[in-house]
Structure 1
């Protein structure tokens, strides 16, 4: 009999938001994962061009085999803060400035976050539970999924336990200001689901299961 590959779990937070320019951004802040502690950034511009900013080749290879991008950049990506203000920066350009510079102001727990608090933590991140509630999640939050098929023949499960509002953003990419905070709309197209349309920072455990 063949051995079963253990589930791979990523524990951290995901920030998702839109901007006035039409660019939508999803930031993964992973405190514990099979790849260690890291941050990655997924960007989809108004024309639909999808870019991954990854801090190492290992992260780039794993993430790009799970999600779909038109461009992958490997460069230093870092973050600091998280409770009230989150700052994310990536790489440096020829002038010595950051290729990506994000500053997010984090607000209170959202109505979705209050709803999530009703789910016992013992169930909230279990793949079986997340498969069961996926149809409900689609109805409650446009674009959101809790279970689905990822790239590389994998199944993926998003167990969100808390959601807070993002109330303001200052974002620059490749030297260009992205404009004021806006809904994440239309949904991003990196994988089978999107972050909520309402700009949010969520606490999440992502489970990836090899088929």
Structure 2
């Protein structure tokens, strides 16, 4: 079956009034130890990866598509009320919202089932209908397969985003969809608790 990587954590998707869209990955459990990374698509379409070190950057960049990769400290602080993210040019504050109806359903699925590639393939068509632009399985490049096993979903109630000191305006849907890889984050700003799996034959490329 080849090499298998597993990342357990959270993905936050945020859109801004200025047009920049962000996907923050916060991974307390991964083959690289705990880390966080940020995928940024500016309103002009430029895709930027903010990664904490070269090893993470190489792995993520081998899986997703970017125009620029920056190595910067990426700090994510989570609390009961939200997130604070500091990553080079980015300052992000997220206010947590209520659990989405889909989140209640996802919590009913047993963990080992929710994390499996078989389950991801089974629920893929449903996910595509419920969350347009979201896919649960796809290519990770280099002959590898990647899949997402969502475990919970919370809405984001509000966000404050600054890029290189400039305020990017209020929270907006993640539209148009981000173009980093085979799947985009939900259009509704959300935090998804997820297990990401990557299976392949060599040590290249998940964010």
Q: One fold, TM greater than 0.5? A: yes
Give the aligned partner of residue 96 of structure 1: none
Length, aligned pairs only: 201
By how many angstroms is 1:20 displaced? 0.5
By how many angstroms is 1:118 displaced? 3.3
Q: Which runs of 5+ in 1 are unaligned?
A: 92-98
Q: Which runs of 4+ in 1 moved over 2 A?
A: 117-122
Could you tell me which of 128, 132, 135 is aligned with 2:122?
132
SS of 1:13's equivalent in the other structure is: strand
The 1-side partners of 2:81 and 2:197 are apart by: 27
The 1-side partners of 2:143 and 2:165 are apart by: 37
Give the aligned partner of residue 89 of structure 1: 86
SS of 2:129's equivalent in the other structure is: helix
The 1-side partners of 2:139 and 2:176 are apart by: 21
The 2-side partners of 1:56 and 1:121 are apart by: 30
The structure with the largest alpha-carbon Rg is 1
Matches within 5 A, 1:52-131: 52-91=49-88, 99-131=89-121
Please report the TM-score for the alignment, with normalisation by the length of structure 1.
0.92
- CA-atom RMSD in angstroms: 1.2
Please tell me whether residue 17 in structure 1 is matched to residue 14 in structure 2. yes
SS of 2:13's equivalent in the other structure is: strand
Give the aligned partner of residue 51 of structure 1: 48
